[in-house]
């Protein structure tokens, strides 16, 4: 019976790929442009072709849109299955969608890989049934049991031009997902007396695995009992220091190990390693054992199920839920997160400022978030009070005022400069409203989070951002080798950390310190840092700090405060002239209503690009009827 099933599956794979049943590999015809048809959105350039046995998809986005490669099939789907293929690409990060379409052509199930960093070499992609979800159609939900078409789509987030190669597409049956997984087991190749490898998975935090320390490294083999999907690994260490280096690998069977993650310089007691959409029959943890120091010991290992963190946003929301409230942006706690746009008239790029005073410099950009350290306390958005306002009450120039007992922080944001040459100018004023002199630090955190929260995910996904390299160099903060932030005076201190070295705010600042490094490189892309400005302020005294953040690459930023003050005055005057071109009057009872109308007219101008109007500043870049009506 098993051999009959094998023959049936070969025939089915041949049907998918367009190969004759006699094909040994079942992969012939994938790159044939006559089999796959191109379906680009209006304004998108797209070509399909065969390239050395692979389907080659070339695309060019003028703005938003999609490029779809479609193949008709006649495919019954089993109770549990996975699609597998090899993929590589070149170009800016965009989304890659895999879709199944039913016989009606109206119901679609999909899997979306967002902001794909295209690999240079072939990478195996596995999409299990669990990850293929109903997208849209009159069916309203449920599972697809028969596919009439398969689609690959590149959809614009970063835009631009690029190429994607796909080959060796196949569907494989999987065992039924019945019951909970077996208990995790562990064995080690090196064990100190009384501290076996099994102690790392016994659920007892008072026991631990400790290597014997008789070699440069030690290995812990984790056995889930069956081939298992997972999304992350939690490690609880016996001691928080010294920094640890380790490698995580997985194997399906035998000794064919593949690297999942390489961690250098980890600190703290608990590490969480994000392993999205990974699977394996065995896992291997290899820890470095430096000469002259005790080898790192592991109290507990947690293998997180796929539901634990299906996306990078899910992962950071898990971390935020464990942290003290206020240390992560409120959007990562699932709380409402309000923001408004900061931009120049006719510019096609804007920044955002949140209700709590964090700013970012465009879609997918890092954010600059303010904290206050005073009197032995770390003051965050969680405590005190916050209110928002506009310059003159009706100009599209937002203000955030945060107050705690004895302190007030005013944050004013605007975008001076010409269209498509603008930058963000954020002015921070810390005022001692108390009755005694006190030393205080304004801590401006550079974080791998957008102001646009995780809940926004239509086209441009909100939530996390990527910071691969971070460096403090005098008055400037370099992010991924480019100017990210410039101050008019150098911070009194600066510290940066990799994700393995723990978040600069949630770990270091929460403990009353800054990270030690001034320059870091983070392969996980979640570096963070803090620029600290410290003063002793008498009652009534203030500390003023101005941050400049480019909205466009390679623009010249002001270097002198006087130049910046002049630009600020011109920016305010521009918006006053635009507001006063039309006079709106009414009784005093209408003042708030009229101010709202004037402010919204200002933001319509902020959201226009050259002579055209564009829709919302983040989640989507396509105009719908409602956008035209609102404009």
Do 368 and 354 meet the contact criterion of CB atoms below 8 Å apart?
Answer: no
Provide the pLDDT for residue 617.
Answer: 67
Q: What is the mean pLDDT of the chain?
A: 89
DSSP annotation of 192 reads B
The arithmetic mean of pLDDT across residues 579-590, rounded, is 91
Which of 246-255, 561-570, 572-581 shows the lowest mean pLDDT across its residues? 246-255
Instruction: Note the pLDDT tens digit of each residue in 141-184.
Output: 999 999 999 999 999 887 899 999 999 998 888 777 667 888 99
Phi and psi at residue 293, to the nearest 5° = -140, 160
Confidence band of 18 (pLDDT split at 50, 70, 90): very low
Give this prediction's pTM: 0.84
Q: What is the C-alpha to C-alpha distance for residues 354 and 626, in angstroms, rounded to an integer?
A: 25
Q: Cα 151 to chain center, whole Å?
A: 25
Q: What is the C-alpha to C-alpha distance for residues 553 and 566, in angstroms, rounded to an integer?
A: 23
Q: How deeply is 562 buried, as exposed, middle or buried, from its count of CB atoms within 10 A (0-12, 13-18, 19+)? A: exposed
H or E segment to which residue 108 belongs: strand 108-116
């Amino acid at each position: 019976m098993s051999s009959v099933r094998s023959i049936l599956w070969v025939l089915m794979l041949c049907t998918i790929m367009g190969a004759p049943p006699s094909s040994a590999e079942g992969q012939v015809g994938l790159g044939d442009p006559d089999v796959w048809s191109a379906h680009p959105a209006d304004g998108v350039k797209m070509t399909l072709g065969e390239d050395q046995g692979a389907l080659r998809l070339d695309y060019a986005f003028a703005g938003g849109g999609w490029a779809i490669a479609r193949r008709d099939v006649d495919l019954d789907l089993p109770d549990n299955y996975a699609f597998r293929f090899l993929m590589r690409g070149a170009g800016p990060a965009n989304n890659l969608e895999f879709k199944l379409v039913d016989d009606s052509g109206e119901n679609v199930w999909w899997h979306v890989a967002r902001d794909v960093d295209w690999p240079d070499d072939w990478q195996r992609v596995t999409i299990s049934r669990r990850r293929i979800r109903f997208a849209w159609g009159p069916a309203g939900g449920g599972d697809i049991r028969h596919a009439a078409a398969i689609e690959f789509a590149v959809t614009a987030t970063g835009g631009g031009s690029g190429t994607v190669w796909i080959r060796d597409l196949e569907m494989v049956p999987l065992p039924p997902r019945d019951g909970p997984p077996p208990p995790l087991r562990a064995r080690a190749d090196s064990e100190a007396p009384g501290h076996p490898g099994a102690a790392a998975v016994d659920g007892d935090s008072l026991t631990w695995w400790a290597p014997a320390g008789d070699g440069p490294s030690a290995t812990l083999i984790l056995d889930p009992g069956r081939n298992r999907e997972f999304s992350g690994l939690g490690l609880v260490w016996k001691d928080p220091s010294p920094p640890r280096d380790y490698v995580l690998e997985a194997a399906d069977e035998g000794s064919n190990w593949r690297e999942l993650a390489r961690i250098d310089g980890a600190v703290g007691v608990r590490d969480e390693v994000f392993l999205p959409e990974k699977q394996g029959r065995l896992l291997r943890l290899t820890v470095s054992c430096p000469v002259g120091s005790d080898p790192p010991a592991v109290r507990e290992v947690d293998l997180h199920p796929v539901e634990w963190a299906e996306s990078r946003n899910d992962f950071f929301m898990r971390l935020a839920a464990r942290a003290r409230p206020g240390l992560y942006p409120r959007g990562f706690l699932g709380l409402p997160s309000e923001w408004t746009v900061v931009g120049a008239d006719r510019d096609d790029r804007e920044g955002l400022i949140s209700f709590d005073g964090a700013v970012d410099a465009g879609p997918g950009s890092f954010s600059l978030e303010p904290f206050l350290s005073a009197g032995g306390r770390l003051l965050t958005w969680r405590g005190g009070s916050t209110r928002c306002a506009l310059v003159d009450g009706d100009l599209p120039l937002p203000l955030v005022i945060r107050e705690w007992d004895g302190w007030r922080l005013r944050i004013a944001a605007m975008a001076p400069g010409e269209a498509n040459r603008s930058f963000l100018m954020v002015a921070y004023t810390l005022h001692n409203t108390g009755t005694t002199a006190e030393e205080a630090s304004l801590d401006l955190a550079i974080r791998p989070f957008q102001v646009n929260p995780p809940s926004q995910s239509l086209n441009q996904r909100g939530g996390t951002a990527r910071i691969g390299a971070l460096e403090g160099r005098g008055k400037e903060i370099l992010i991924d080798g480019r100017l990210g932030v410039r101050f008019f005076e150098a911070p009194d201190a600066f510290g940066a950390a990799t994700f393995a070295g723990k978040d600069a705010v949630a770990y270091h600042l929460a403990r009353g310190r800054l990270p030690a490094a001034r320059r870091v490189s983070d392969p996980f892309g979640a570096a963070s840092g803090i620029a600290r400005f410290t003063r002793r302020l008498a009652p009534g005294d203030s500390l003023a700090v101005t941050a400049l953040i480019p909205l466009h690459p390679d623009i010249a930023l002001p270097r002198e405060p006087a130049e910046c003050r002049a630009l600020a005055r011109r920016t305010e005057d521009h918006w006053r002239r635009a507001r006063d071109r039309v006079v709106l009057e009414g009784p005093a009872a209408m003042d708030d209503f009229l101010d709202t109308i004037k402010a919204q007219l200002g933001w319509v101008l902020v959201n226009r690009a050259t002579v055209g109007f564009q829709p919302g500043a983040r989640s989507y870049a396509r105009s719908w009827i409602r956008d035209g009506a609102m404009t």
